[in-house]
Amino acid sequence: MKRTRREILKAGAALAVTAGIPGRAFAQAGPVKVGMSMPQTGSLGAGGQAALVALRLWVDDVNQRGGLLNRKVELIAYDDQTNPANVPGIYTKLLDVDKVDLIIAPYGTVPTAPLMPMAKQRGLLVMGNFSFQVNAKVQHDMWFNNAPWNNASSWSDGFFANGRKLGAKTVAFLAADQEFAQNLANGARELAKKGNLKAVYDQNYPPTTTDFSSLVRGIRAAKPDMVFVMSYPNDSVAIVRAVNEIGIGSGVKMFGGGMVGLQFTPIMASLGSLLNGIVNYNSYVPGMKYPIDDFLKRYAQRAKEAKVDPLGFYLPPFNYAIGQMLEQAVNGAKSLDHKQLAAYLKKNEMKTVVGPIRYGPDGEWANARVVQAQFRGVVDKDVEQFRSPAKQVVIYPDAYKTGTVIAPFEKARKAKK
């Protein structure tokens, strides 16, 4: 059949238009795809795998309710190995090959940081996943973090406020040499300065540090009144062990603050009584009144099969909350358009298993809910003990307070209750 030049041009134009349709439109025909990179191995792997169990639980729940916009929801998650270098490639694949409709950030500040410029450039809605101050410089207006903190003060103020009450005049800082810990350390230094606390020791350690004996000995020699530590899970364990072996000094009133990992059940169970006396941040501890019981019960069943954090207090509920927020935004906006979803999330209060969440203009929680809790009376080899509110006594903020801090640190280590 012979075609005219006009017909050929029309066909060419139609082809060009079809090829130019963005990926999200192509995905309309199938399920709603939610994509993410998640540390499933490496130092954040334990947390990442537990978080995925919670997200998959939400996917099953939402599909039972009929999905999103009457379409089935599918979660696509790739392992970034806690290596930020893998993150841009993973999201490029998710967006351009898998054609996902919605994205969730990987767990943690370090893996999330490389995603932010790409998300801003492409105008993507990003549900943040327990990162800290990762949007402070990028200022992406479609960022919504699931973490219960906002600025540095929301995280560290409770620690310093209690230290000041105890009469602390000096502080030692020990921080991992990476994005999260440095963001936190910068804020903590500012807070210490404002509170007239003199920094007598301030060190950043590289992530390759294997033994912390020398560093702990250095802190002991500086004789600080309080020690603020900002570390990642493997380091946190090594630091706690080194403190137990070397000793931190009888003058230290409070120790802890920003140690990631001491919220994970396997780590808590492994450290056991070595945790006693440490005051550390947390997102949820038993006793806080959240509508969380049903979720924790169902999570525990799946966690057992997946061989991950059996209690799942720290990350899993907040990851389930990401799903709940996406569900409310999509149903509310009746669209998968990222701008409309972002507008909905900014305007409305979200109902989640970790209580109501309202966002501030920077995409962080308008009202932070980080608690500082002191480990007390923890015994060895008992996972179930951590279900009791008595093992992590909330000393800050007042709204959740269940006790006052025991000091000095050496005394708190021996306290039974």
Partner 1 sequence: MFFSFELLLEALMFGVLLGCFYTAVSIGLSVSFGLLDVPHVAHPAIMVLGSYATYIVASQGLDPILSGVLLMPVFFVLGVLVYRFYYESFERRGTEAGVRGLAFFFGLAFIIEIGLILVFGVDQRTVEAAYIGESLELGEYRIPYRMLVAFGVALVLTFSLTLYLSKTFTGRAIKAVAQDEPALRLMGANPVRIKQWAFGIATGVSALAGALLIIVGPVEPAIDRLYIGRTFCIVVLAGLGSMTGTLAAGLILGIAESMVLMFFGASWAPAVAFGLLLLVLGVRPQGLFGR
Binding site for partner 1 (CB under 8 A): 40-43, 45-46, 48-49, 81-82, 177, 203-206, 208-211, 213-215, 217-218, 221-222, 233-234, 237-238, 241-242, 244-247, 264, 266-267, 270, 274, 307-309
SS3 category, 13:
helix
Shortest separation between residue 244's beta carbon and partner 1, angstroms: 6
- Which C-beta is closer to partner 1: that of 212 or that of 359? 212
Shortest separation between residue 213's beta carbon and partner 1, angstroms: 5
Shortest separation between residue 30's beta carbon and partner 1, angstroms: 30
Shortest separation between residue 303's beta carbon and partner 1, angstroms: 10
**How long is the chain?**
417
Residue whose C-alpha is closest to residue 242's, from 214, 222, 281, 269: 214
Q: Phi first, then psi: give them for residue 144, nearest 5 degrees.
A: -140, 110
Shortest separation between residue 80's beta carbon and partner 1, angstroms: 12
**Count of CB atoms within 10 A of residue 69's CB?**
15
The conformational region for residue 184 under phi > 0 = left, psi -120 to 50 = alpha, else beta, is alpha
Rounded to whole angstroms, how far apart are CA atoms 128 and 51? Answer: 13
- Which C-beta is closer to partner 1: that of 149 or that of 409? 409
- Which C-beta is closer to partner 1: that of 264 or that of 295? 264
SS3 category, 310:
coil
Q: Phi first, then psi: give them for residue 234, nearest 5 degrees.
A: -65, -40
- Which C-beta is closer to partner 1: that of 82 or that of 324? 82
- Which C-beta is closer to partner 1: that of 6 or that of 307? 307
8-state DSSP, 246: H
- Residues 6 or more apart whose CB falls under 8 angstroms from that of 19 comprise none
Shortest separation between residue 214's beta carbon and partner 1, angstroms: 4
- Which C-beta is closer to partner 1: that of 247 or that of 356? 247
